[in-house]
Amino acid sequence: MAMSSGIFLSKAKSLQLEEFSKTTKNKTEYRAAIGVLLRSKGKTAKDAGNQLGATQKQVFTWCRKFREEGIKGLLVKKQTGRPAKQKNQAKPVMEELLKKDPQMFGYLKGRWVLRDISRELKKEGIDLHYTGVRRALLDLGIVLKSPKLRAPGSINKNYRKRAEIKRYKRVSSALLKKK
């Protein structure tokens, strides 16, 4: 015994849904509209989900929202939550900071590191964790290369260089420029 599709569309609603799927720029809204259309044409939720890369439950949700609210139910809502104030304040400061050499600020490294940027932002009055710094840099389209402090070459052969690096790590925090 075959299951019915669960959603029946009039010719006008079907045309309206097709037009919506052609005009929307959001891929989630597009997939939802196509999912409802496929269900109205007799496809199972599992088949529609496989075709669209969604779960069967998601297809049922799209159909239910369309039945209750129409096309408004398929629209993606604005994200909720607290806006990122610190990150937005930090972006222009970080752009200016990255133009300067980290050695001007007392760091021995030749390039900026997320934790050093976070420290400098804290001095400017912006308390942003280094993971937030990373996200802000990604928003700006900047990717920092992470340096590795290790002796080049074979690990077994470079005892002297490894000792130098160990001493540097111990002393580096004391070498920061004090105000």
CA distance 37 to 60: 12
The model's pTM is: 0.48
User: Residue 84's pLDDT is what?
Assistant: 76
DSSP string, 6-41: S----HHHHHHHHHHHHH---HHHHHHHHHHHHHHT
Q: Which residue reads 């999912």 in tokens?
A: 35
Can you give the pLDDT at residue 58? 95
pLDDT at position 33 is 94
Distance CA 18, CA 150 (A): 59
Contact predicate 138/158, CB 8 Å: no
pLDDT at 83: 78
| Amino acid 109: pLDDT | 77
pLDDT < 70 regions, the chain: 1-6, 146-160, 173-179
**Alpha-carbon distances of 167 from 37, 162, 171, 178, rounded to whole Å:** 67, 9, 6, 20
